[in-house]
């Protein structure tokens, strides 16, 4: 599927109604594929996955309920809306239980159709291959807030555990803003050495320091007219926090070694996987900067707090990694699905993507079973294990086991755990201090 507006598949055996639905959706800017029966629809779905399926219930051959069950068996994350005859409420409730995203009782007005489609349509992938999936009510609530704030100029603070998709939400905010045609620039404050952070963010003039052979614009200038994501903003040292505060207030920046300020037109989105209020209390983060970036907070829940997103995301990763792994259409069996939804996902979406890619490599055929997921058994939902081991001890064991499995490579271990290398170094230092062992 190409980037931009995702396609819809409309399934309707009444030719006149099918034409009317297609015209309404086309006029609203949607791209529409059509099928006159369920069997033809399934054939289209085998070739391309749309952003939503809109299907009549009463059709010759396989009806809409049968189509719904077939779709959900193959692609659990694909939204399906059923059009039902007026008064068949019991059937509509049954359809919702079977996984329908919504239902439309006939007859319905065009505005009602467009509102329901807009609410459930799964977005197309952007140029970076990212998709924002929100099937769980907790995710939908956050996405609704994101849609509301996207069109404004408000500074947004994205918080949540590592791997929950903060950058994906930041890109969503940019794509749905008035700055969508301008640059989106992301910088991870934890990944840049402290002595280079200032020059990276604000740029530098020729001769400003040893090795500055020419002038270079910083990330703020590169994002001119668009959006700048400052990821892991709590990793900024205090003296740069002060400079950042001034830039946000004055809307201008000065390059390292520069003598004149540069006017900026940039929307800033900040992100952190830490508790910023706690960082303020500990004196590690300026309170005035915290209040400046915390204009519109969006907390993204961890994957274990939005379990209805797990299978749709896993299905998305099957499609995304198909070319990388060199495997065709693959699927999870029931046992694998149960394993995926029952796991705690400490690394969140990043960990899920790694697990799916690994399973695609290990599975000998199209079906992926729980044995191909290779999920660790040491991480579970309870705060205390049956044997009385505290979560912090479980975390330490998991980190040390992962580090050993990665041959001591901190970079590889951090990626597998879904945390930054800086966080991993901090935890290892803490373990050394607690035990006195050379870890």
Asked if 162 and 273 count as a contact pair (C-beta separation under 8 A), the reply is yes
Distance, in Å, from the CA atom of 126 to the CA atom of 123, rounded to the nearest integer, reads: 9
Q: How many CA atoms does the CB half-sphere of 394 hold within 13 Å?
A: 18
Tell me the pLDDT band of 435, cut-offs 50, 70 and 90.
confident
pLDDT beyond 60 at 382: no
Asked if 348 and 78 count as a contact pair (C-beta separation under 8 A), the reply is no
The pLDDT tens digits for 175-215 are 889 998 899 999 999 888 888 888 889 988 888 887 777 88
Residues 219 and 367 in one domain: no
Domain end call among 325, 343, 375: 375
The pLDDT tens digits for 344-372 are 999 999 999 999 999 999 998 999 999 99
pLDDT beyond 60 at 87: no
Tell me the pLDDT band of 390, cut-offs 50, 70 and 90.
very low
CATH value at residue 56: 3.40.50.2300
Distance, in Å, from the CA atom of 262 to the CA atom of 259, rounded to the nearest integer, reads: 10
Structure confidence at residue 289 (pLDDT): 97
Tell me the pLDDT band of 116, cut-offs 50, 70 and 90.
confident
Tell me the pLDDT band of 2, cut-offs 50, 70 and 90.
very low
Q: What is the DSSP string of 44-60?
A: HHHH---SEEEEES--S
Domain end call among 120, 145, 166: 120
Is the backbone peptide bond immediately before 395 cis, with ω within 30 degrees of 0?
no
Q: Has residue 132 been placed in a domain?
A: no
Domain end call among 328, 346, 375: 375
Residues 16 and 161 in one domain: no
Q: Which residues neighbour 312 within 8 Å (Cβ) at sequence distance 6 or greater? A: 76, 77, 78, 133, 135
Residues 259 and 286 in one domain: yes
Structural domains of the chain, count: 4
Residues 104 and 232 in one domain: no
Q: Has residue 254 been placed in a domain?
A: yes
pLDDT beyond 80 at 243: yes
| Crossing angle for the helix pair 38-47 and 64-74, to the nearest 10 degrees | 20
Structure confidence at residue 76 (pLDDT): 67
What is the pTM (predicted TM-score) of this model?
0.60
Tell me the pLDDT band of 40, cut-offs 50, 70 and 90.
very high
- Running DSSP on this structure, what letter comes out for residue 185? E
Q: Has residue 128 been placed in a domain?
A: no
Residues 346 and 234 in one domain: no
Q: Please, what's the largest Cα pairwise distance for the chain?
A: 77
Sheet holding 156-159, edge to edge: 184-188, 227-231, 267-272, 156-159, 296-299
Q: Which residues neighbour 292 within 8 Å (Cβ) at sequence distance 6 or greater? A: 155, 245, 248, 249
Distances from the Cα of 380 to the Cα of 107, 339, 385, angstroms: 48, 12, 8
Structure confidence at residue 51 (pLDDT): 83
Strand pairing class (252-253; 262-263): antiparallel
Residues 281 and 314 in one domain: no
Structure confidence at residue 212 (pLDDT): 75
- Note down the domain range covering 286: 137-299
Structure confidence at residue 15 (pLDDT): 92
CATH value at residue 308: 1.10.8.60
Q: Give the residue-averaged pLDDT of 65-73.
A: 87
Residues 92 and 196 in one domain: no
The pLDDT tens digits for 135-176 are 888 998 998 899 899 989 999 999 999 999 999 999 999 988
């Amino acid at each position: 599927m190409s980037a931009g507006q995702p396609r819809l598949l409309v399934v309707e055996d009444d030719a006149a109604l099918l034409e009317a639905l297609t015209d309404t959706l086309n006029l609203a800017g949607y791209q529409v594929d059509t099928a006159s029966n369920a069997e033809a629809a399934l054939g289209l779905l085998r070739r391309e996955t749309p952003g939503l399926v809109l299907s009549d219930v009463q059709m010759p051959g396989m009806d809409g309920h049968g189509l719904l069950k077939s779709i959900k068996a193959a692609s659990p994350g694909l939204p399906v809306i059923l059009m039902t005859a007026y008064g068949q409420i019991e059937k509509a409730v049954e359809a919702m239980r079977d996984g329908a995203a919504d239902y439309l009782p006939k007859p319905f007005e065009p505005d009602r159709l467009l509102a329901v489609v807009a609410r459930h349509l799964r977005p197309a992938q952007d140029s970076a291959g990212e998709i924002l999936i929100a099937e769980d009510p907790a995710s939908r609530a956050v996405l609704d807030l994101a849609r509301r704030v996207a069109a404004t100029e408000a500074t947004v603070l994205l918080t949540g555990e590592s791997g929950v998709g903060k950058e994906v939400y930041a890109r969503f905010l940019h794509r749905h803003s008035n700055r969508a045609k301008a640059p989106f620039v992301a910088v991870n404050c934890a990944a840049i050495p402290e002595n280079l952070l200032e020059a990276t963010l604000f740029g530098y003039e020729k001769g400003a320091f040893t090795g500055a052979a020419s002038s270079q614009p910083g990330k703020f200038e590169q994002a001119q007219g668009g959006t700048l994501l400052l990821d892991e903003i709590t990793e900024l040292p205090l003296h740069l926090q002060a400079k950042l505060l001034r830039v946000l207030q004055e809307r201008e920046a000065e390059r390292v070694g520069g003598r004149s300020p540069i006017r900026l037109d940039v929307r800033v989105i900040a992100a952190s996987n830490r508790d910023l209020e706690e960082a303020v209390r500990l004196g590690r983060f300026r309170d005035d900067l915290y209040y400046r970036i915390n204009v519109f907070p969006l907390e993204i829940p961890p994957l274990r707090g939005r379990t209805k997103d797990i299978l749709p995301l896993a299905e998305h990763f099957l499609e995304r990694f198909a070319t990388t792994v060199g495997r065709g259409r693959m699927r999870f069996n029931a046992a694998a699905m149960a394993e995926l939804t029952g796991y705690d996902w400490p690394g969140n979406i990043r960990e899920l993507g790694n697990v799916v890619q690994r399973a695609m490599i290990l599975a000998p055929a199209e079906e992926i079973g729980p044995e191909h997921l290779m999920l660790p058994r040491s991480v579970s939902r309870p705060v205390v294990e049956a044997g009385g081991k505290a979560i912090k001890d479980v975390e330490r064991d998991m980190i040390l086991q992962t580090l050993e499995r990665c041959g001591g490579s901190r970079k590889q271990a951090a990626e597998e755990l879904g945390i930054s290398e800086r966080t991993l170094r901090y935890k290892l230092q803490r373990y050394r201090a607690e035990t006195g062992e050379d870890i």
